[in-house]
Structure 1
Amino acid sequence: MDLNLKNRTAIVTGGASGLGKALVLSLAKEEVNICFTWQRNESRARQLIEQVKATTPVEIMAVKTDLSDEQSRHQLFTTCIEKLGKADILVNNAGIWLSGYVSELTHYDWDRVMNVNLKAVFHLSQLFVNHCRERDQAGSILNITSQAAFHGSTTGHAHYAASKAGLVAFSISLAREVARQNINVNNIAVGLMDTEMIQSHIEQNLDYYLSRIPVGRVARPDEIADIGVFMVSPKTSYMTGATVDVTGGMLMR
């Protein structure tokens, strides 16, 4: 299926690994130009750029970004626009998953999770919406939330769950604000994926985690990414404020 995304430009946070990398690769297949962020592993970001350039004709760049820092976020957006000319798509994928029960949780860790998982989404979405309005263009925002937004946490991740629940409410509110400007805002709710962020937890408690997933397996990042790319395409221009459940059935009611 042709998603009519050729020559559009996307900003993807956390694009160097995990689901973010899968999103970059899936967008590149649709000939979307891409600006993605990395923070710690420059070689991994360079390898991804080389991989994309070897297989597709798109423009692609990576920007080192501390998503918890306002100035760094602003510099990311400015750099992407200067180099690629515009932004049609914003994918707020980056997130951190720190451990700690509420009785022991530090204010520093709480703020760190909120700054990356929620405040960065607000700030980049604000920059993106204003960019689209200035150019009088349509736009798509995709936010990555979690089943934890709806079920909470039982394993010491209350701060993560709270940030992802806030993301759902923020997305719905923003979708209402910008719907008449042809900017749609949607979420994907993910469950357990085979990514570095949670791999060690899954390996240590495999039976427990698999017992919570009706389909009986963890997700592959690429199968989630393909759904995400469809959601930022013109095929979904009539969908906004929605959260699509791709948790392997964990959110079935």
Structure 2
Amino acid sequence: MANILLTGGSRGIGAAIADTLRPDHALAVQSTSGPLAADFADPAAPADLWARALDALDGRIDVLINNAGVFDANPLDLPHADWVAGWERTLRINLTAAAELSRLAVTHWQDTGTPGRIVNIASRAAHRGDSPAHWHYAASKAGMVAMTKTIARAYAKDGILAFAICPGFTMTGMAEDYLASRGGDKLLADIPLGRVAMPDEVAAIARFCATDAPPSMTGAVLDVNGASYVR
């Protein structure tokens, strides 16, 4: 049984990941409310969450799954200061918080001499880009992919593995709103599978990476997008 810290676990992909892991593993699940509430817009939140999660899991975390994120529109015609603020908030929540938690995880495993795994939930946008109002979102997810590869290359010798998962549109509340705003049928026509991914499909891959993927897979970036972007 692994001790797992999962961020963004209250709905959508995060809730599906929690559901698939909970029967066999000990979970500490961060959300915006509840016992492990944390607001990653606050620079102090990641370190505070790590300490509380470590305490909840009896001093040992084996797997970190960085899923928390925001997908807020940031139109180009906003006042400049507001546009920059949108960038800073999204990168803080989507990338910097995940980087801080990953650093704390790596140093925890190095200090204890134990192996560990990091699973980062990135996005198709990391490779394909996103809408004109989402430069910041695409950049944050591309940064997450680059960070994953760097961690994998740097710490494999220590038994520390890292994986990134890049979903396309996934049927969460956030995706439903976006599909409606972009004319859903036209957007779906761009997905050869003919539908968006379901949260449990992404969760199955996250579970595999967190618990079963062979060590030689470290550094892998796995696409879940219905062939809407192949590389």
Which bracket does the TM-score occupy, shorter chain normalised?
A: over 0.9
Aligned to 2:228: 250
Deviation larger for 186-195 or 236-245: 236-245
Q: Which letter does structure 2 place at the counterpart of 1:19?
A: I
Matched, 1:84 2:85: no
Looking at structure 1, the residues matched to 132 and 204 of structure 2 have their Cα atoms a distance apart, in angstroms, of 29
Aligned to 2:42: 69
User: For the Cα contact (< 8 Å) 1:102–1:158, is it kept in 2?
Assistant: no
Aligned to 2:74: 100
Looking at structure 2, the residues matched to 235 and 115 of structure 1 have their Cα atoms a distance apart, in angstroms, of 29
Aligned to 1:206: 184
Looking at structure 2, the residues matched to 149 and 92 of structure 1 have their Cα atoms a distance apart, in angstroms, of 15
Deviation of residue 218 (structure 1)? 1.0
Percent of aligned pairs with the same amino acid: 34
In the comparison of the two structures, how many residue pairs are matched? 226
Looking at structure 2, the residues matched to 122 and 165 of structure 1 have their Cα atoms a distance apart, in angstroms, of 13
Q: Which letter does structure 2 place at the counterpart of 1:80?
A: A
Looking at structure 1, the residues matched to 144 and 178 of structure 2 have their Cα atoms a distance apart, in angstroms, of 24
Looking at structure 1, the residues matched to 225 and 147 of structure 2 have their Cα atoms a distance apart, in angstroms, of 21
Q: Deviations over 1:81-139 (max 9, x none)?
A: 11212100000001100112334361111100000111011100000011111111110
Matched, 1:175 2:152: yes
Distance 1:241 1:235, change over 3 A: closer
Corresponding residue to 1:149 among 117, 126, 137: 126
Looking at structure 1, the residues matched to 186 and 132 of structure 2 have their Cα atoms a distance apart, in angstroms, of 11
Deviation of residue 24 (structure 1)? 0.5
State the 4+ residue runs in structure 1 displaced beyond 6 angstroms. none
User: For the Cα contact (< 8 Å) 1:26–1:226, is it kept in 2?
Assistant: yes
Q: Which letter does structure 2 place at the counterpart of 1:15?
A: G
| 3-state secondary structure, aligned to 1:228 | helix
User: For the Cα contact (< 8 Å) 1:146–1:164, is it kept in 2?
Assistant: yes
Deviation of residue 28 (structure 1)? 1.2
Q: Which letter does structure 2 place at the counterpart of 1:38?
A: S
Looking at structure 1, the residues matched to 76 and 208 of structure 2 have their Cα atoms a distance apart, in angstroms, of 37
Distance 1:102 1:241, change over 3 A: farther
| 3-state secondary structure, aligned to 1:38 | coil
Q: Deviations over 1:207-247 (max 9, x none)?
A: 12201211000111011101110011244222111100111
| 3-state secondary structure, aligned to 2:230 | coil
Matched, 1:216 2:194: yes
CA-atom RMSD in angstroms: 1.4
Q: Which letter does structure 1 place at the counterpart of 2:12?
A: G
Corresponding residue to 2:13 among 11, 15, 19: 19
Structure 1, unaligned runs of 5 or more:
1-6, 43-61
Q: Which letter does structure 1 place at the counterpart of 2:202?
A: I
Deviation of residue 186 (structure 1)? 0.7
Looking at structure 2, the residues matched to 169 and 89 of structure 1 have their Cα atoms a distance apart, in angstroms, of 19
Q: Which letter does structure 2 place at the counterpart of 1:73?
A: P
Aligned to 1:131: 108
